[in-house]
Amino acid sequence: MIIRKLFKFENVHIVRGCSTVRCRSSLHGHSYKIELLFESNFLDNAQMVYDFGLMKHNMKSFIDCFDHAITIWDQDEPAYIKDMKRYSDRWIQLPVSPSAEQFSRVIYVMIDKILKLTETLNGEREVSLNSIIVHETDTGYAQCFESDAYSKNMGEIKLEEIHFSDAIREDWSSFNLWEDIKAGKKFVNPTSV
């Protein structure tokens, strides 16, 4: 069975190297819709695959980091990167260009890591991330599966190369949450939300 949870955020970027002149040469924003699709052949004690309320913790925190932020590719011009960080409190720096395709891969890698580090307490079994869908516009989206997320042909995504501004980190339950995730620290789902 597959379940789906939808999240939304507003984000700004430039997609260098794309064919569309406006997209590659001007800051522009999108109202993103992010779909997390989880699957399992088992149901928990409430006869659910995974309680949507549990996603409000670490998963939602990391999707929310992109809200009202600028996403920067670490291979962009150094002066541009410096200015974006100087004039925006909320920024994320990625090791890949912030296209819809790469957003879906980055978010897949982040959510997959969080899911694998989470200890469940309500009988959830063998829950895995099926895919991530990133709607950049009403008419266009990118869908990422595990083989896409970890494909070196599409650019390797290393968690240690994803950086969040202090303003974003201050919104988390712990300022060092990202370091904890990269270090493999386990999280325990609450028994009630």
By annotation, the residues acting in catalysis are 23, 68, 136
Question: What are the backbone angles phi and psi of residue 188, rounded to the nearest 5°?
Answer: -115, 125
- Do the bridges between strand 118-119 and strand 187-188 make them parallel or antiparallel, or are there none, so unpaired? parallel
| Spatial separation of the C-alpha atoms in residues 130 and 152, rounded to whole Å | 19
Strands (E) across the chain are located at: 2-13, 28-39, 69-73, 91-94, 118-119, 128-135, 141-144, 163-164, 187-188
Cα(14)–Cα(113) distance, integer angstroms: 27
Residue 75 is given by DSSP the state T
Q: How far apart are CA 3 and CA 78, in angstroms?
A: 41
Q: What is the Cα–Cα distance from 16 to 159, expressed in whole angstroms?
A: 22
